[in-house]
Structures are given as structure tokens and as C-alpha cells.
Structure 1
Amino acid sequence: MDPDRVLEGLDPEQTQVARALRGPVCVLAGAGTGKTRAITHRIAHAVASGVVAEQQVLAVTFTNRAAGEMRGRLRSLGAPRVQARTFHAAALRQLSYFWGEAVGGEKPTLIDSKIKAVAQAAHMVGLQPDRTGLRDLASEIEWAKVTQVRATDYEKALAKAGRQSPTSSPQEVARVFEAYEDLCRERNLLDFESMLELTAGMINADPGIAERVRGQYRYFVVDEFQDVNPLQKLLLDAWLGDRDDLCVVGDPSQTIYSFAGATPGYLTGFAAGHPHATVVELVRDYRSTPQVVRVANHVISQARGSAAGSHLTLRAQRPDGPDPLYQEYDDEPAEATGVARKIRVLMESGTPASEIAVLVRTNSQSAAYEQALTDEGVPFTVRGTARFFERPEIREAVHLLRGARHGAADDTGEELVSGVRHLLTQLGLTETAPEGRQARERWESLSALAQLAEDMVATAGGGNRVTMAHFVEELEARMATEHAPGFEGVTIASLHSAKGLEWDAVFLCGLHEGMMPIIYAETDEQVEEERRLFYVGVTRAREHLSMSWSLSRSPGGRRTRKPSRFLDGLRPASPSTSPRRKEHRNRVVRCRVCGLALTDAAERKLGRCGDCPSTYDEALLERMRHWRRLVSKSQAVPAYVVFTDATLQAIAEQEPGSLEQLSTVSGVGARKRDRYGEAVLALVRGADPEELVETQTADMEDTSDD
């Protein structure tokens, strides 16, 4: 390919990236500024110019989807043999190739999830954590390994990093960590972190292997460099050796994985470490309207601490669009229903369901929106399941279609589409989506394949015949590049899993204090990471951006929530938010027994960890529960409407002696204090629940007669 033709269509800054063919290059690329376009054209330009052979290029990114997209673009630019892989895929390929020479013996079993091994390790040291505890232990072990911390040094490293052990004591985590490492050695298991470490160690320790690896790969590009952790940096340095043909690309404002060991320091300090580096800033935003870009720039301009001053100010390149929407709701169900109705209206006005996303802070928020969209008859898919071409139904479908391509050799147009749909009915494709989440996800996968056949026929037009062979060829090419077809449904996703994606319309939901920023973001650094996460969410929107929050969790609950501080200066004033509230800082509630920070809502009500010892009068708690049953029956309301279990237990533990003391118990608001306060105090003093309710009922009847 003509090198100059590769540069066609690039803006001045992208062209500068593509022309910087040698030596260290640092590309600071804001959201929506075409960074993938810039770096793939740079690689293609280097290949076309004879600077490097395409098989000597290693382009590294963080997800299989991003690597697949990069391979697809390079293929269209005439460089199909460039290796675009994740760190883990590249390391596995090299380690497998040199295993016999560098290590010898039976190759280990690679595990993609630590949960089972961590559970066994915990059992070995006498612990029985639940599923959540196991996930926390696995995450903590991963953090330690990517930051190159050994089990014996874990406690010191934890204190140095200012990091809290999430579920167990640091001593228990260290014991489980050590047992986990022993277990992996005994059973010849290899996790992803050890795979990276072994690959780097192999290259650094064996000059012969190092020479061959470095001879194979001479030209490096690393995308999303702000997310590199110390272990990945160790491997990258082993690949490079003493060379500097390295191009790094990233955006410090999109650093959202610090909790997992990632650090933007490698990106922000790149120029200092490479004084002769070419540094290019990409700030022309081609994704979002000026209205969305203004929100993004405002959010990130408020960054504090070490992140202040390192952000890029985006410049919108698209025409004006609609103003962002800010919506306050009374409670979470009302918010989910309101969002679903807005989505239905948006779809009726012409926005495809596949171009709409509902983004939430935690996966647990998803269910309310799934139900609300179902009630509105809006199709949706929940992001975060297995990769498309790894799903069993897709493997079966591709196998079936491969076998049918000879028998349907002459089918084109509508015949092809009908043939594909007919074949897929054997695997469960029906006219309408079935009930049940798993069945619906399978149906959506098959439906996406059928839609791809329709899209190919429509795109080809009447002059080009698309046959079954062409369709299967396209599927195989997509499998090779992991380029999945889009789903015809609204996407529900967490903010973390939405990174790298974009939609015409984005609904950012649950934007209240305690959720955004999340309640366990205690330090300034953690709050700033939450700000960056919100920024990532905002910059996913091309045209429509809606932001919402609710004042209470449940209908009829106390409307005490505050909109996220990240909306300050953006959202219009409303009666519920004026006069301007004081800057809210997450108040850390600590266990009164062990002193650990409490993140679970029920534990925060109790004022202690659920498994910490408690001393309370069991007879008092039983009296209050009995009284609650009687009251709920007489008032024809659910028991939790009177008081929740957590509130009753907190009362039993604190034994308030006055209405003022009762008011300090979490879950006892002014209305409940006025309605039930005297009865609760009487119960604390030993009153009989049935006599108490009878007296209250008689008093109410007397009042009614008057």
C-alpha cells in the first residue's frame, strides 16, 4: 500500500502520531478522539514505509474485544499479520512455546478463576468465607501479585499502600495467600499473574530466549497505558530490552482500575523517563456533541490531588445536540420506571435499542432496570457474560452453518436470510424472545447472528450476491478478530464494563451520594477515581445524555439522599436541593467492636460487623419482634415498614432510655420516633408486647370516638 494513502483522512494530530515512526512516542488521547484510528494508521504507515515488517509488530491492549477491533482495522489497512493481543494472550503464546526449553516438565493447567483454589486454600488455614468473601480474597491476592508483593510481605505492603483488607484481617489474607501459592505449586496450576511473571522471568534469565523474542518483536504499541500495572510493566520491559521503539497511548482521566493495581504514573511519567520522546495530544472529540463534551470537561476539571492539572480539555467536533437531562425521583423503583419510559419514547422517535445504554455503578442495581424495561416491553441485554463467539449456542450455530454452506450454495438475498433463520430455529431461535434470563440471552445471541445475515444482504445491494459461503466466511473472520455482531436491545452495564464502548444515548442512573461516589470511597484518591469513573460514563454518550438519582431507596422511605457531588455546578437548582447543601464527605462508619470500616447497609445500622460479637438482651429483641408482628397485623402493613430487623437489633444493643437516645439509632426517623417511640421505650423497660398493643389500640379507639 502507498504510505501516503494510509495518512488520508487523519486530522493534524492523528497525522503527527502516524508520522512518528521511530523512537519513543507518547499519545495522550482524550475520549472519542480517534486513538485507535491514529495508532492503527501509524502501524500501517510504518509497515507500508518499510520501517518494520508487519510480523515484527506487537500491539498490546487490555481486552480481547479491543485487540479484535485493532486486528480488524489493520486487516483493512493492508497489515493483517500484525500481532494485536492482550498482555495475557501474548505471554501465554510465548510461555507455551518456550516451556520445554525454559522450564521443562509437564505444562501447568491455566486457571481463569481463582475462586475454587482460594476456597481450598482458605479451608486449609481454617477459614470458611462465603462467596463474597472468596471474591474479595481472590481480588486481594490478585492485587498483591500484580504489584509484586509476596505473601510474607503482604501486611507491610497493605499498610504502605494505605489500603484496607476488604473482608478478612491482613493476617488471614496473608495466610490464605501463602496457602494458595502452595496449592498452585503442588497441583501445577498457573494463574494469569504467575503467567506474566514467569514469561518476564524466562526472558530476563535466558539470553538465548531473550534474543529470539526480541528478534521476533521489534516494534511495540501499548494501548490504554494508564491501566498498566507493575507486573505488566515488568513484562513490557522484558520484551523491549534496551530498545525504545515503543508507542504508548492512554488518558489519565480514564484511570479506573487503581484498586486492581493499575497506575497512570507510567503514562504521565513517560516523557520524563524518555526525554527525547514525541508527545502528541489528541483532543478533537468526534464522538460526542458539544453539550456532552461540556459536561465531561466540567466533571474532570474539578479533579483534585495528584490528578489535578493532568486532564485533557476536549474540543467537540460534532454539531449541537440536545441538552443533557437531569432528573430527580422519589425512590429507586420510580427512577427505574422513569428511565424505562424515557427509553421507550426515545426508541419511538427513531433511536435503535442497540444504541441506548443504561449505566450503573454496581451490578446489583441492574435488576430494577431489567424489570422496568421488561414492563415497558423494551428488549435489553446485560453486558458482562461470556464473549460472543465463546458462547455454546454460537459455537453450535457456526458448526451448523459451516455444514450447510454447500447445500445452500446458490441461496442469496432473502433466501439466504430465511435459510439462516431456519437453521437457527433448531438451536432455539423463535419469533419472540422466551421468558427467563438464560433462555433470553441464548435467544439474543442467535438473533444477533440472524440479524448479521440480514445486514450483509442489505449492505451488499442488488449487484452483489451474498451466499451462505460468504456469510460463513464473514463469521470466521469475525471469530478470528473476535468482532461480535451487535445486539438489538438496550445495553445494561456497569460503568467499569462500559469503558471503551459508546452509544447514541446513555442513561447514567443512581447518581446519589453513597453510590457515586460509592460509599467505601473513603480517601481523596478513592473519591477522585470515582470522579474518573463518572467521567468515563459521561463520555460514552454520543448525543443523548440523561443523569438521574433518587431521594430514597424504597417507596415511602425517608427522602434523605443527596445528588452526587459530581453533579455540582451542572444540575439545575431544585426545591429539594436548595439552598445549596454543604460539601458532603462520605462519613466512615466503623465497627464499634473491631474498628473496621462498615460498607454493608445493615452493618452500618448495627454499628458493627455482622460477624463481630454482640451483647444484647435476647428477651428484649424477641419482645420487640413480637410487638412488631402485632402492630404490622393491626395496621395491615408489612413488618419491615414498622422497623427493619437491623433497626430492632440496633435498638436491642443500644437500649435507649429516652426519645432523644432513640433518635440516634439508624433507621429511627422523626416520624417513626413520634409514632412508635414511647412503645419502644416501654418495651426496653420490660413492657408486655400484647398489653402494649391493646392499650395503644384502645387509646386510638377512644381518640376516634372523641
Structure 2
Amino acid sequence: MSASVVSLSQHTPELDDEQQAAVNAPRGPVCVLAGAGTGKTRTITRRIAHLVDDGHVAPGQVLAVTFTARAAGELRTRLRALGVGGVQARTFHAAALRQLRYFWPRVISQDPWQLIEGKLRVVGQAAHRVGADTNSESLRDLAGEIEWAKASLITPERYPAEVARVRRDVPTDATLVAKVFAGYEALKTSQQLLDFDDLLLQTAAVLEAREDVAREFHERYRCFVVDEYQDVTPLQQRLLDAWLGERDDLTVVGDANQTIYTFAGATPRYLLDFARRFPEATVVRLQRDYRSTPQVVSAANTVIAAARGQAAGTRLRLIGQQPSGPEPTFAEYDDESAEAAAVAAKIKRMITDGIPASEIAVLFRVNAQSEVYERALDEVGVPFQVRGGERFFARPEVRQAMLALRSAAQSPEQLPPDAVTLRDQVRAVLVPLGLTDEPAAGTAGRQRWESLRGLVGLAEEMAQVHPETDLGRFSAELTSRADASHPPTVQGVTLASLHAAKGLEWDAVFLVGLADGTLPIQHADGDEAKIEEERRLLYVGVTRARRHLSMSWALARSNGGRRRRRSRFLYGLIPEGHPTARVASGKGGAKPRCRVCGTSLSGAEALSLRRCPDCPSDVDIDLLDRLKSWRSAAAKKQQVPLYVVFTDATLTAIAEHRPCDNAGLVSIPGIGAAKLERYGPDVLSLVVSDDV
């Protein structure tokens, strides 16, 4: 035993009984069913150290693979701390690339083939040759289908039959996709190119075909560890089998309840069937959750308890180990803007109470949902970062749509005669860009559709607040918002899709937009397997929270929009009798009432004024006139529309409430930290001078 290796042969105090059982399991096949927050990384690194410590294997003979470079880096760091720094911890692709570079000159040729990091150029050439669409969204969808097929070990010839068998949602005619796929593979071969999937395919093929190469590899690596085994694709499993050969020194770790990438070819069946393949395998279940409070754990268990299908087979039930914390909160709002405003206000209070912004996350189902939260957080002066995707106004389809809207505003004769309202005009401009009544097929097409639909929602919202808004003013508003959405990168609140949040955790998590049609996503309806994957997405979201968990939904996308119901996954999760009355204020708590007549308020203008628009106003007319004059000068100096400085409703609210300090000013909806810093001194001086 090396003196530098931490001895783990005896019971390790920092491991619980189940973790210790996994660490001390005999050499051979081991399956660790590890729930969220149960310490799987600690367990597998200590198992590797234990095997090295007991002399079963040398550090350099261990190959540990996972799915992200970040996770591989964490494995290496922890292993070095345990004195086993020679272990190879890599992603599947990084491990295959290293091996292929070593064997290529002997097996293929002295000249290495070029690895392409992006396949769109070659896919575009193949698509052009067979008459398929070559716009950017179509090419991304075609590339995605090729990646899925190769990950699933499906050839171009088998593609049409396989997508029909599994009822896959394909972006265009399956026969046409197959032709593009075949052309793409032919072009790569003729140009001596490899894509990332080829790394796995070629490495597996070499090990399968060349006995001398396989023998050398098997002598080099004798022990294998696979993390996140529920996300393995058939192609990755084929490579793993080639690595193993006839041996069984394999430890796998996974949680079928967190299988959320089946659209990319991942399948939990290898994890669930592990004990059948290796009848002598040691199977250990890790269910003690060290991440989250018992309240969060209980919510997660409730979500996943209703799961059906093969992926629910492990039936792991988490047991919270952390001290008790607050109960999860639930809230219902009239529209998405109100929901976002409420979430932003709660986040600001949390930060004021001492929770770092970097320990707070807002998680949603689709990236297009980020815009309303970007805006709401900007409004209250809370920094944020968008993880796993671009900010809304930086997305290509949004930039293209803004150009089209600006052109239509400058040449209104382009619009159809029946497009009278702002909403109709915006829809008319966006339909040629991909806006349809139903979601588009394919991942890229659906993302474009969601973004375009988000722009229509902004038009509806603006028309509600300012009925006089025309297409030109709307286009200018979009430009202003886009210009304001490029602050310097800072540590702040994380905005992320549920997929991008996998593997991460925060002290406080806001799960937003939990309405049917969004979670579960609309195109999952009618397919039980897809619905179950949507349920697992919610489970992943819940288990990201350590202490504070907030779940919310809006009954409409915009004020006065089509009504919808809260997510079906929430039934049974919300405690009976829990107050989930609608909140329209965007501030949480009781629904606000008019300070004049006492009627419940709804709508941005009423909420800003804190009274019904038709109720008598006690506005200071002279002060309002001075505020408007000041706004005109400020807008002219900045070369922006008047409403970018302050809306009419906000100025009216200032003239009615006459705030005398910063606290009074920011209490008015529409005035956040950014506007307070820029305009606060001027506005307060106008109010004070009026009092004098």
C-alpha cells in the first residue's frame, strides 16, 4: 500500500453505512443507485481510493468517465486529495479522443483526420445536395437528428423506420433526414473529417476489430467507473463494452429518476438492467440526502412518487439529513409579468436578508422564459447571469425578428389590411419567420417558435399598459430593452433552464412557469414517456434547492391572455388548504386593493398607481408637469424614447405619492435600483422643490 494513499480499508467516519458498503464492495461489478444529494461523488472517489489502497489496481489502471468536463475535473481534484492523482478521469469523448490519437497511426493511417467541432457546414452541404432547407434552424435540427441517430447506433438506412417505431418528433420528412444523414457521412469520409460521435464509434470499432489493440488497451486499463450512468447512450455503452472486453471490474453510479436527456439518445435501461447483466453484482442504494432540508426532500419525494414507466423502477426515496428549514412556498399569478415581478421582489428581499445572489437560482422549462425574469431583475437592480443559453435579446431569431419589425414599422404598407391591433401586426411580421399556431417540430425550430411567441407576449403586454402603442414604438421599446441587456458580467442570480441546472445546487431555488403547456411542455401531451420525462425535470429542479424552494405559475402569459391551469405535477404536492389565492401585485402576499375605492387591482397601470385608473386622482399637476419636462430633457440627452426613462404611469404615481426619500421612490413599481441611481437625485429634488 502506498503511504501517500489515504487508507479507506476500515470504516470511514465521514461515510454513512450505505456509502461505506459501496466503498468496501468487493472488486467486480458494483451498481450504486444514488439519489440527488446523497454524496455519490464522495462515494465513488473513495471507492477508487479503496481499490488502490488494497492493491487491487494501480491508479493509472483506473478509467473514470462522466459526462461533463466540470464533473471530470471535480473527480480528479477529489482523487488527488485522496492521494490517487494518477487516475484518468475524463468525459467519454475526451477519453476516446486520447485513445484514438494513440492508436490511429497504427490502425488507420499516418495522417490524422481533422476533428470538426461543429458539423453545420458539412450538414449544410449535404442538405443542399438533396434539396433540404439550409436555414440555420433547419441545419441545427438536422444536426441534432444525426447526433441522436449516431448516439442510438442507427444508420441512415434504418433512420425512417426507427423514428416511426419510437414515435420521435422529427423536424421534417424522415426520408429526407436520412438522405442528409447519408450525404453527411459520405462528405466527412471524402474530406477525412471526424465529428465528436465518430470519436466514440471509431474507438469502439478499433477495439472490436483489432485484437492486438484491444489487448494493449486491456492491459493498460483494468478498472472502470461510470458516473451518471442513467444518461448513457447505446453508443457510449458500446464503447464501454469494448473497454471492458470479457472483464467485469466496473462500478456504475446513477439515478433513473434524473433521466432527462432521452431526446438525445440517453436511456436508463443499462442502469436498471445492470443486475440482470451481472447477477453477481453488488447493488447499493444511497438515499440519505445531505443537500436539502427535510421539507425540500419531502417535496421531491412527492413529485417522483407519482412516476410511472421503466425509469421509475429504482423507487429511491430520499431521506433528509439536514436540519429543518422553511416549507416550500406556492404562488399563483394572473400573468407572467406579475409572476416575474413577484419573484424579483422576493429575491431582492432574500439578498437584503443576507443570502448571496450567487446562491439563488430561477429555473424554467424553456430558454425563452428568461426574458421576463431578465427584465424583472433588471428593474429591481439585482444582478444575474443566464446559464446554458444566451440572453433573450442576444438570440439570433430575436435579432432577426427585431430587424423585421423595424422594417415593417418604417413601411407599414407591408402589413396586411386586417392587422389592426399591435398584436396582429407583430404576428403578421413574425409568421414568415417561423411563428405558427402550434409549436414547430425539432429542437431548434421549437426554440425559435418560443422566442417569437415571447415577442408576441411582449406586444400584448405593452398594448395593455399603453393602448396607443404602434409598431414603431414597440420596435423602439425592443431596441431599448436590447441595449439595456448587456451589462458587464457579474456574480449574480442564476437564470437557467431545468436541463442546464442538472448537477448544480443553490441555497434558494425558484421554479417558475409551472403551468400545463410549459411543464409538462405542450408537445409532450399524448406521449406517456415524454410526460414522465417532464415529471423528472421537475424532480431535478426541486432537488437543486438546499433550503428555500419556491414554486409558482401564471394563469396567462399576458394580462387578459388565454387562461391555463397550473401544472398537473403540482396536484398532491401543494398541501391541502394551502393558501394559493391568485396574487396580481407581483409582490407576493395579499392581492392589492385600490387606495380610493378598495377594489382588487390588476394590470400594470393600476398596480403602479395603486388605484383604479378610473378612480379620482390626487395628483399634483404642477409637479407632474415638471416631471414630464425633466423626462423630455433626459430622454433627449440619452437619445431614447420618453418611456425608457419613466412611463406616464410611473410619473403620475410619483406626482401622487410625492416620495421624499429613496425608500419611498423605489416603493413605486417601475423604479428599481438602476433607475434610482440614474434618476433618483433629480426626481427627489423636483419633489422637494415643489414642497418648498
**Same fold, judged at TM 0.5 (above):** yes
**In the superposition, relative to structure 1, how do residues 575 and 142 fare at CA in structure 2: closer, same or farther (>3 Å)?**
same
2:566 and 2:287 mapped to 1: Cα distance? 30
TM superposition shift of 1:168 = 0.8
Q: What's the CA shift for 1:104?
A: 0.5
Mapped to 1, the partners of 2:372 and 2:487 lie a distance apart of 19
Q: Which residue of 1 aligns with 2:328?
A: 324
User: Who is 2:103 aligned against?
Assistant: 98
Find the partner of 1:186 among 178, 183, 190. Answer: 190
Cα RMSD over matched residues? 1.9
Q: Distance in 2 between matches of 1:314 and 1:529?
A: 19
| Shift of residue 34, structure 1, vs aligned partner | 0.2
Task: Report the equivalent of 1:305.
Answer: 309
Q: 2:53 is aligned with what amino acid?
A: A
Q: CA deviation at 1:438?
A: 5.8
The number of aligned residues is: 484
In the alignment, which residue of structure 1 is the partner of 2:386?
A: 382
Counterpart position of 1:109: 114
- For residue 158 of structure 2, give the secondary structure of its aligned residue in structure 1: helix
Hey, what does 1:355 align to over in structure 2? 359
**1:39: which partner in 2?**
44
Match of 1:159?
A: 164
Distance 1:518 1:183 in 2: 36
Q: Distance in 2 between matches of 1:308 and 1:46?
A: 31
Residue 659 of structure 2 corresponds to which residue in structure 1? none
Residues 575 and 3 of structure 1: CA distance in aligned 2, closer, same or farther (over 3 Å): closer
Q: Secondary structure at the match of 2:260?
A: coil
Which residue of 159, 171, 175 maps to 2:179?
Answer: 175
How far apart are the structure 1 equivalents of 2:376 and 2:118?
32
Q: 1:115 Cα shift?
A: 2.1
The answer for the alignment partner of 1:497 in structure 2 is 500
Q: How does 1:655-666 map to 2 (within 5 A)?
A: none
Aligned partners of 1:55 and 1:82 also within 8 Å:
yes
1:21–1:42 Cα contact (<8 Å) kept: no
CA distance in 2, matches of 1:346, 1:367: 21
Q: 1:525 aligns with which of 502, 507, 529?
A: 529
Q: Aligned partners of 1:436 and 1:109: how far apart in 2?
A: 41
Counterpart of 2:228 in structure 1 is 224
Task: State the secondary structure of the residue aligned to 2:314.
Answer: coil
Match of 2:59 in 1: 54
Alignment of 1:464-475 (within 5 A): none
Deviations 1:607-631 (Å, cap 9, x if unpaired)? xxxxxxxxxxxxxxxxxxxxxxxxx
1:515 alignment partner in structure 2: 518
Distance 1:337 1:277 in 2: 52
User: Which has the larger displacement, 509-518 or 176-185?
Assistant: 176-185
| CA–CA distance in structure 1, aligned partners of residues 381 and 338 of structure 2 | 17
Alpha-carbon distance, 1:36 to partner? 0.4
- C-alpha distance in 1, partners of 2:109/2:192? 12
Which secondary structure does the structure 2 equivalent of 1:497 belong to? Answer: coil
**CA, structure 1 residues 130+77, in 2 after alignment: closer, same or farther (shift >3 Å)?**
same
Query: Is 2:310 the partner of 1:262?
Result: no
- Identity rate, percent: 57
Q: Which residue of 2 aligns with 1:278?
A: 282
Gaps of 5+ in 2: 391-481, 583-692
* 1:49 Cα offset (Å): 1.9
* Corresponding letter in the other structure for 2:286: L
Q: Is the 8 A contact 2:9 2:53 kept in 1?
A: no
CA distance in 2, matches of 1:348, 1:93: 49
Aligned partners of 2:194, 2:85: CA distance in 1, in Å? 31
Kindly state the Cα deviation for residue 550 of structure 1 after the two structures are TM-superposed.
0.6
- How far apart, CA to CA, are the structure 2 residues paired with 1:530 and 1:267? 20
Partner of 1:440: 488
Q: Which letter maps to 1:202?
A: V
Q: Deviations over 1:166-212 (max 9, x none)?
A: x2111111111111111211222211111100000011111111111
User: CA separation of 1:519/1:179 partners in 2, compared to 1, >3 Å: closer, same or farther?
Assistant: same
Q: Give the distance between the partners of 1:385 and 1:89, measured in 2 at CA.
A: 23
Alignment-derived partner of residue 542 in structure 2 = 538
Question: What is the identity, as a one-letter code, of the residue corresponding to 2:322?
Answer: R
Please state how far the C-alpha of 1:554 moved relative to its aligned partner.
1.3
Distance (whole Å) between structure 1 residues aligned to residue 50 and residue 314 of structure 2? 30
More moved, 306-315 vs 346-355: 306-315
- Cα shift readout 1:518-568 (whole Å, capped 9, x = no counterpart): 01113000000000111000000000000111111112323x111000100
Q: Which residue of 2 aligns with 1:67?
A: 72
1:209 aligns with 2:224: no
Counterpart residue number, 1:247: 251
Please tell me the residue identity of whatever aligns with 2:160.
E
Matched, 1:568 2:571: yes
Other structure's SS at 2:184 match: helix
CA distance in 2, matches of 1:34, 1:111: 36
- SS of aligned partner of 1:3: coil
Letter in 2 for 1:496: H
Trace 1:361-372 onto structure 2 (pairs within 5 A): 361-372=365-376
Amino acid at match of 1:136: D
3-state DSSP of counterpart to 2:523: coil
Cα deviations across residues 39-71 of structure 1 (Å, max 9, x unaligned)? 001111111222111011000000001001111
Kindly state the Cα deviation for residue 127 of structure 1 after the two structures are TM-superposed: 2.0
- Using the alignment, how far apart are the partners of 1:191 and 1:436 within structure 2? 38
Task: Tell me if 1:14 matches 2:14.
Answer: no
**Aligned ranges for residues 637-676 of structure 1 at < 5 Å?**
none
CA distance in 2: counterparts of 1:161 and 1:236, whole angstroms: 24
Distance 1:191 1:498, change over 3 A: same
- Which residue pairs with 2:553 in the alignment? 549
Does the residue aligned with 2:102 lie in a helix, a strand or coil?
Answer: helix
Partners of 1:102 and 1:202 within 8 A in 2: yes
Task: For residues 425-462 of structure 1, give each alpha carbon's deviation from its aligned partner in whole angstroms, at most 9, with x where no partner exists.
Answer: xxxxxxxxx98656623xx3xxxxxxxxxxxxxxxxxx
Indicate conservation of the 8 Å contact 2:9/2:24, yes or no. no
Amino acid at match of 1:440: P
| Contact kept? 1:289, 1:317, Cα under 8 Å | yes
Measured after TM superposition, the shift of residue 497 of structure 1 is 1.0
Output the amino acid matched with 1:517.
P
Aligned to 2:419: none
Per-residue deviation at 1:576? 8.6
Partners of 1:199 and 1:571 in 2: how far apart?
A: 50
Distance 1:57 1:515, change over 3 A: same
| Deviation digits for residues 337-374 of structure 1 (CA, Å, limit 9, x no counterpart) | 11111111111111111111111111111121111111
User: Matched residues in 2 for 1:110 and 1:508: separation?
Assistant: 39
What is the distance in 2 between the residues matched to 1:279 and 1:574? Answer: 40
Q: Distance in 1 between matches of 2:364 and 2:535?
A: 14
Distance 1:21 1:5 in 2: 11
Q: Contact conserved, 1:21 with 1:51, CA < 8 A, in 2?
A: no
SS of corresponding position for 1:220: strand
1:118 deviates by 1.6
Distance (Å, rounded) in 1 between the aligned partners of 2:484 and 2:86: 43
SS of 1:78's equivalent in the other structure is coil
The answer to which of 106-115 and 139-148 deviates more is 106-115
CA offsets 1:241-270 (integer angstroms, 9 cap, x no match): 000000000001000011111110000000
TM-aligned CA deviation for residue 110 of structure 1: 1.3
CA distance in 1, matches of 2:185, 2:486: 35
| Shift, 1:5, TM fit | 7.5
| Counterparts of residues 574-653 of structure 1 (less than 5 Å) | none
